[in-house]
Amino acid sequence: MIEPKTLKGFRDYLPEVMIPRERMMEVARNVYRQYGFVPIDTPALEYLEILTGKGSDETERQLYRFEDHGGRQVGMRFDLTVPLARFVAQHHAQLGLPFKRYHIAPVWRGEAPQAGRYREFVQCDFDTIGTESVAADIETALVMHDLIVAVGVTEFKIHINHRQVLTGLLEKLGLLDASVPVLRALDKLAKTSVEAVSAEMQQAAGLTAAQAAEVLTLASVKGSNAEILQQLATIVAGNARGEAGLKRLSDMVAGLAAAGVPESRFELDVSIARGLDYYTGVVFETYLDALPGIGSICSGGRYDNLAGMYTKQHLPGIGASLGLDRLLAALEKLGKLPASKTTVPILVAFFDPDRLNDYLKISRTIREAGFGCELYPEPKKLGAQLKYADQKGFRIAVIAGSQELERGVVQLKDLQRKISSDVAWGNDPSELLRGLANMLQLNEGNLVV
Amino acid sequence: MIEPKTLKGFRDYLPEVMIPRERMMEVARNVYRQYGFVPIDTPALEYLEILTGKGSDETERQLYRFEDHGGRQVGMRFDLTVPLARFVAQHHAQLGLPFKRYHIAPVWRGEAPQAGRYREFVQCDFDTIGTESVAADIETALVMHDLIVAVGVTEFKIHINHRQVLTGLLEKLGLLDASVPVLRALDKLAKTSVEAVSAEMQQAAGLTAAQAAEVLTLASVKGSNAEILQQLATIVAGNARGEAGLKRLSDMVAGLAAAGVPESRFELDVSIARGLDYYTGVVFETYLDALPGIGSICSGGRYDNLAGMYTKQHLPGIGASLGLDRLLAALEKLGKLPASKTTVPILVAFFDPDRLNDYLKISRTIREAGFGCELYPEPKKLGAQLKYADQKGFRIAVIAGSQELERGVVQLKDLQRKISSDVAWGNDPSELLRGLANMLQLNEGNLVV
């Protein structure tokens, strides 16, 4: 006998976890599609050189790699960005540009196990490749916005910054060469004091106290988006790079307003930088008002050139990624993730073995009306079936013994309100269907999202 | 520069392939859910011993295996049945029985490359575990039926047989020991002559000509389902095993009729056996009337004990699997797979850079009304955008230059019928939305499934 267990660092998704997870992926797909993003898929396995080309040491160490049956060095993808780069480099002539794709798929990293982190996880990415237009930047923010609204959260903020505003300021101050340690220090502004950040800039980046103070004027940039734009204009004035970045931010603020997004949902925020090597333009992070501590649940930004490793074709783009696990955890904390082990609201009980064909007909009638239902798979005492219904979270049981069927009725039992009523059942299904519709409506507050 | 290419034996899914593929998986999920099947997921990687426990030599040879970062021997799953067995053995107390799950996920096999076969493919399985009830057998056939109807095919047949009818006949003839070679020969009945099968039975299984003739009375079983049941009753009469199998078939025929499935859609067929080591009860295959040659597009059957390798818990079950790639290929041949590179019908053109905010507002209005639309990501000549729209398969372009917007109108262009009309656009979106709805309705025959 072999002990049944999941591989260390991996996990099974049981139905009560997989049901909301799958719905969340559907919500994401639907929002992506509404904007004209199209799905692609790429293999789980790639040639090792494709994966390690640009990888950091960290990435390389975490990579699942091996030799395949043909002696090829292969690896399991560790993100969806490297495969996207390879994909667009390989197919751009056929795809046409601009190209907008979404990709929802698992990736694998042999990380050291941590609480809540697994070696297999799903990424939900969307990107617009082959354009530098601000329209793509704005629509990326709109998709992020619509995603969060679509899962039922209304109180959140998309933080927006532009890499060139920061770089422009540093250039203006003659500090471009020190930008990596300066920005690394600046990134800590949200978590520590201005004094500590200033000290780090002086120590790690060799700035004078006056230079650090100049950079830290950024920390005082506050107010409405319009006010922030005004303060930044003064800060970057005279620097072409900074002014260009600021113009993008200003266009974005106007565009998001034109598209009807409430001002309360997005906020210019000079403190976010996000992986400065990769992003070159606008950057995004998204925080839930009720749970700022869990971190950004949807992040992304603009990059200069997606696939320089694989093609000479210049491929600028912008994209973002929904943090599926983090968002699910947040919804659970917010009580917005109803626990259910079933995808349908109705259980048809099966307790008279001779009446199976009646139950099949009842089930069929219910399904054809567009309600899903489960027919309990085998004849059993009613008590056991109702216990099963309770455990799984069904809302209604349809109960019919021989006596009921002979009288031409079936019983509908509202499992939450513990109320039963008989409805006529024979050649005309309308009373049954009306009865179900009424019961479902009465407890629709408990509907699974 | 690294050459961008997919690993040998693997493929990318470009949007025009992935769009129908993803829709097909959605159709499958929706049908599975309607019957109360719930989703699960399991890791791509398992301990090697889990995967190889019951594997054939063939399976073992094809397995992608390696040592992980912790020195564990691991492998990539080659089907969804072994992970299901491990999963149910591990979690059955928490899951409760009966347990009905679906699982749609990729699997990997290092097969020798063949035309149309890849080393990574998606399986779409559903199973009912923990019951021997005929109700589960009937509902499995109903799900298969509804799946095919849901993808838009009405002319097909689900072939149904029962393993014990065959075994019962062999037992009655004292040929139980020869059942493997006899059934292997019998399996060829559809493809060759009765004489050839008889010869193989005599040579490979050591039957006399008279015994072979007795077994081959099965080949003469023909007619309506009721007639076939009658003929089989005579053939297995007196053998308990055969009679039990026949009773199941008879119950299934009655149950499918009670559930309203047209008799033309299912057919008792003594010639199908399907992997005789594994299946022990009813077996299914599904053939499209128009394309019998492509083989079964949805197959399955009942098994005695799912997870005997991993648990002492006796876990009988029944399940089936949709052949996603085969069905997609069939739909393409039947012209039921509209080619489209977009998931939305409407393209909002972007050709006046100063009017981006108007285009954003128009796009938002269209999306809020429930139509998807793509805003072309950058300002460009109208001709180039209309070419893009044609290539991608958009049905309507919304066109508005400064002149139109100043006049308070936008132009709707039906890209298939090459007709344009102006609609009012200002504070009231109703004329725009009505115009779009009309145009979409007029060419709805071209709607993507």
Q: DSSP characters for B236-255?
A: HTT-HHHHHHHHHHHHHHHH
For residue A281, what pLDDT is reported? 94
What pLDDT was estimated at residue A94? Answer: 93
> Measured between CA atoms, how close is A165 to chain B, in angstroms?
23
Flag whether A2 is in a domain.
no
Contacts of B5 in chain A (CB under 8 A): 47, 50, 86, 90
Closest Cα of chain B to A195: distance in Å? 41
Closest-CA distance, A24 to chain B, in angstroms, reads 13
Residue A276 has pLDDT above 60, yes or no: no
| Probe site for chain A from B80, B132, B309, B356 (most A CB atoms < 10 A) | B356
A87 vs B12: CB contact, 8 Å cut-off? yes
Chain A neighbors of B46, CB-CB under 8 A? 6-7
Contact, A262 vs A141, CB < 8 A?
no
- Least confident interval from A16-30, A108-122, B88-102, B381-395: A108-122
Does residue A321 sit in the same domain as residue A412? no
Residue A296 near chain B (CB below 8 Å): no
Shared domain check, A370 and A281: no
Q: Give per-residue pLDDT as tens, A129-146.
A: 999 999 999 999 999 999
Q: What is the pLDDT of residues A359-392, one digit of tens each?
A: 999 999 999 999 999 999 999 999 999 999 999 9
DSSP A114: B
Cβ atoms of A374 and A345 closer than 8 Å: no
The residue from A333, A358, A391 where one domain ends is A333
A55: pLDDT confidence band, cut at 50, 70 and 90? low
pLDDT score at A448? 40
Residues A392, A319, single domain; the answer is no
Whether B237 is covered by a domain: the verdict is no
Q: Classify residue A411: in a domain, yes or no.
A: yes
Residue A273 lies in a domain: yes
Cβ atoms of residues B172 and B217 within 8 Å: no
pLDDT digit string (tens) for B333-351? Answer: 999 887 789 999 999 999 8
Residues 70-129 of B with CB under 8 A from A: 70, 72, 74, 76, 85-87, 89-91, 94-96, 98, 100-101, 106, 108, 110, 120, 128
User: Tokens for B431?
Assistant: 């004329």
Within-domain flag for A3 = no
- For residue A136, give Cα distances in angstroms to A129, A302, B398, B406: 9, 9, 18, 25
Q: Which residues contact A321 (CB under 8 A, 6 or more apart)?
A: A80, A123, A124, A125, A126, A298, A299, A300
A351 touches chain B (CB under 8 A): no
* Residue B259 C-alpha, separation from nearest chain A C-alpha, in angstroms: 5
Of A50, A86, A342, the CB nearest to B36: A342
Look up the CATH number of the domain holding residue A320. 3.30.930.10
Count of other CB atoms within 10 angstroms of residue A264: 11
Averaged pLDDT for residues A12-18: 96
Interface of B with A in 128-157 (CB under 8 A): 128, 131-136, 138-139, 142, 146
A285-324: per-residue pLDDT in tens?
A: 999 999 989 999 999 999 999 999 999 999 999 999 999 9
- Confidence check: pLDDT of B251 > 90: yes
- Contacts with B357 from chain A: Cβ below 8 Å: 254-255, 258-259
Q: Which residues on chain A are in Cβ contact (under 8 Å) with B13? A: 39-42
Residue B210 has which token pair? 């008279």
By percentage, how much of chain A surpasses pLDDT 90?
Answer: 81
Mean confidence (pLDDT) of chain A: 92
Taking the whole predicted model, whether its pTM rises above 0.90 is answered as yes
Comparing CB atoms, the residue among A41, A135, A254 nearest residue B18 is A41
Q: Is the pLDDT of residue A410 over 50?
A: yes
Instruction: Verify that A27 and A157 share a domain, yes or no.
Output: yes
If asked whether residues A246 and A116 sit together in one domain, one would say yes
Domain boundary among A307, A333, A359: A333
Candidates B29, B13, B27; CA nearest to B103 is B29
Select the more confidently predicted residue: A104 or A444: A104
In angstroms, the first-to-last Cα distance of chain B is 41
Task: Check CB contact of A46 with chain B, cutoff 8 Å.
Answer: yes
pLDDT tens figures, B362-413? 999 999 999 999 999 999 999 999 999 999 999 999 999 999 999 999 999 9
Query: Phi and psi (nearest 5°) for B286?
Result: -130, 125
CB pair distance less than 8 Å for B95 and A22: no
Q: Sorting pLDDT into bands at 50, 70 and 90, what band is A278?
A: confident
Chain B residues with CB under 8 Å of A21 CB are 41
Q: What is the pLDDT of residue B448?
A: 39
Radius of gyration of chain A (CA): 28
| Pair (A290, A235) in one structural domain | yes
Tell me whether residues B12 and A68 touch, CB distance under 8 A: no
Tokens 């490749």 belong to A129
Q: Which pLDDT tens digit goes with each residue over A230-273? A: 999 999 999 999 999 999 999 999 999 999 999 999 999 988 87
**Which of residues A311, A333, A355 is at a domain's end?**
A333
ipTM of the complex: 0.94
Closest-approach residue (CA) in chain A for B355: A255
In 3D space, the residue among B362, B372, B446, B442 whose CA is nearest the CA of residue B408 turns out to be B362
3-state secondary structure of B103: strand
Q: With a cut of 60, say whether residue A445 has pLDDT above it.
A: no
- What's the CA gap between A279 and B52, in Å, rounded? 45
Q: How far apart are the first and last CA of chain A?
A: 41
Report the residue from A4, A26, A128 with minimal CB separation from B90. A4
Q: Is the pLDDT of residue A119 over 50?
A: yes
A36 and B7 within 8 Å at the Cβ level: the answer is: no
pLDDT, tens digit (0-9, with 9 covering 90-100), for B9-39: 999 999 999 999 999 999 999 999 999 999 9
Residues A362 and A321 in one domain: no
Indicate whether A226 and A283 sit together in one domain. Answer: yes
Are A185 and A306 in the same domain? yes
* pLDDT for A275 beyond 90: no
For residue B379, the chain A residue with the least C-alpha distance is A133
Quick check: B54 pLDDT over 70? Answer: no
A77-A78-A81 Cα angle (round to 5): 85
Q: Are A325 and A434 members of one domain?
A: no
How many beta-carbon pairs under 8 angstroms link A with B?
324
Number of structural domains (chain B) is 1
A338 within a domain of the structure (yes/no): no
Q: In chain B, positions 240-279, which contact chain A (CB-CB < 8 Å)?
A: 251, 254-255, 258-260
Is it the case that residue B53 has pLDDT exceeding 50?
yes
Q: Work out the average pLDDT over A118-131.
A: 97
Alpha helices (H) in A100-239, listed in sequence order: 134-150, 163-172, 179-186, 194-205, 209-215, 225-236
Nearest CA in chain B to A49: B2
Return the pLDDT at B275: 61
Is B41 close to A260, i.e. CB distance below 8 A?
no
Average pLDDT over residues B317-331: 95
A97: closest chain B residue by CA: B388
A205: pLDDT strictly greater than 50: yes
CATH number at residue B360: 3.40.50.800
In A, minimum Cα distance to B341 occurs at: A38
Distances from the Cα of B28 to the Cα of A324, A389, B298, B318, B324, angstroms: 23, 24, 11, 17, 9
- In percent, the amount of chain B with pLDDT more than 70 equals 97
B38·A19 Cβ contact <8 A: yes
Chain B contact set for A38 (CB, 8 A):
15, 18-19, 341-343
What are the Cα distances from residue A224, in Å, to A161, A227, A268, B56, B176?
14, 5, 8, 67, 84
pLDDT value of residue A331: 93
**Shortest alpha-carbon distance between residue A179 and chain B (Å):** 28
Interchain contact A39–B (C-beta under 8 A): yes
What are B106-134's pLDDT values in tens digits?
A: 999 998 877 778 999 999 999 999 999 99
Cβ pair B41:A64 closer than 8 A: no
| Domain of B382, in residue numbers | 346-446
Q: Is B147 helix (H, G, I), strand (E, B) or coil?
A: helix
In a domain, A340, yes or no: no
Do residue B101 and residue A15 have CB atoms under 8 angstroms apart?
yes
Find the mean pLDDT for residues B274-287. Answer: 84
Task: Tell me which chain A residues have a C-beta less than 8 angstroms from the C-beta of B7.
Answer: 43, 45-47, 68, 72, 74
CA distances to A271, A301, A302 from A239, rounded to whole Å, are 20, 22, 21
Looking at every residue in chain B, the average pLDDT score rounds to 92
Task: Give the confidence band of B441 by pLDDT, cuts at 50, 70, 90.
Answer: confident
B351 and chain A: CB distance < 8 Å anywhere? no
**CA triplet B140, B143, B149: central angle to 5 degrees?**
145
pLDDT for A446 beyond 70: no
Read off the pLDDT of each residue in B81-109 and give the average, rounded to a whole number. Answer: 96
Please answer whether residues B189 and B197 qualify as being in contact, where contact means their C-beta atoms are separated by less than 8 angstroms: yes
Residue B161 located in a structural domain = no
Give tens-digit pLDDT for A18-49. Answer: 999 999 999 999 999 999 999 999 999 999 99
Pick from B13, B65, B94: which is nearest to A14 by CB?
B94
* Higher pLDDT pick, B371 / A277: B371
Q: How far is residue B216's CA from residue B95's CA, in Å, rounded to a whole number?
A: 45
Q: CB of B49 within 8 Å of any CB in chain A? A: yes
The mean pLDDT of B209-226, rounded to a whole number, is 90
pLDDT score for B360:
96
What φ, ψ does residue A267 adopt, rounded to 5°?
-150, 125
- Portion of chain B with pLDDT greater than 90, in percent: 81
